[in-house]
């Protein structure tokens, strides 16, 4: 059987390279022509607040009203650490509660509650606890106030860990020892119990 000569072999190799290059160019063209991901709604004014968003300001006008009266329109924000929001968000705690007319649902602009959102991290002082976590210090300050000037509870939140002395025993954990003190006292001056966790 006759074998392919050098020139024929060279032409076959060149053809294969050309086909491969053409396919690569086609793939790259398809990738570059893919539609861009739709932009998010952060910073958008909207008539409702979709899932996954909070808002940091309310205005009242006719844009979202189906009648002659005004209705709320919301300045949407993506929840983020340090954001001051008109409501809390799943997966976040808050470390400050204030009152401002920016979040007022009323046309008259009466002050409403705002929350400074925080990503839960071990050791953070928070106005709320985290499901599945615990805390090792309970204090009372006006940072988390429900009413102006009235101190409310704040928590130093902790991720459960073996050997941690905590104010509560999270689900799935137990403890090896207890101690008495004032770190977890609900009532000022009253002794409370801390638990040494183990898992």
What's the CA gap between 88 and 85, in Å, rounded? 7
The pLDDT of residue 58 is above 70: yes
The SS3 assignment for 138 reads strand
Q: Which of 1-5, 27-31, 45-49, 114-118 has the lowest mean pLDDT?
A: 27-31
63-91 average pLDDT score:
93
Instruction: Extract the tokens encoding 144.
Output: 């988390």
> Is the Cβ–Cβ distance between 4 and 12 less than 8 Å?
yes
Please give the angle made by the CA atoms of 175, 181 and 183, to the nearest 5 degrees. 85
pTM score, two decimals?
A: 0.75
pLDDT tens digit sequence for 99-129: 999 999 887 778 899 999 999 999 999 999 9
The pLDDT of residue 140 is above 50: yes
33-44 average pLDDT score:
60
pLDDT of residue 119: 97
């Amino acid at each position: 059987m006759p074998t392919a000569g050098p020139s024929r072999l060279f032409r076959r190799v060149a053809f294969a390279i050309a086909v491969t290059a053409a396919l690569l160019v086609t793939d790259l063209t398809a990738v570059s022509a893919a539609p861009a991901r739709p932009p998010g709604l952060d910073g958008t004014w909207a008539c409702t607040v979709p899932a996954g968003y909070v808002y940091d300001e309310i205005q009242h006008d006719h844009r979202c009203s189906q009648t002659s009266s005004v209705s709320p329109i919301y300045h949407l924000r993506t929840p983020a650490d340090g954001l001051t929001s008109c409501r809390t968000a799943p997966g976040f705690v808050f470390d400050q509660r204030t009152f401002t007319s920016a979040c007022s649902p009323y046309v008259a602009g009466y002050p409403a509650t705002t929350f400074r959102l925080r990503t839960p991290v071990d050791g953070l002082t928070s106005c709320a606890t985290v499901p599945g976590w615990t805390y090792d210090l309970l204090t009372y300050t006006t940072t988390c106030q429900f009413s102006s000037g009235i101190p409310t509870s704040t928590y130093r939140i902790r991720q459960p860990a073996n050997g941690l002395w905590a104010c509560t025993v999270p689900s799935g954990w137990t403890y090896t020892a207890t101690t008495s003190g004032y770190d977890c006292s609900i009532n000022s001056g009253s002794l409370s119990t801390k638990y040494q966790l183990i898992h």
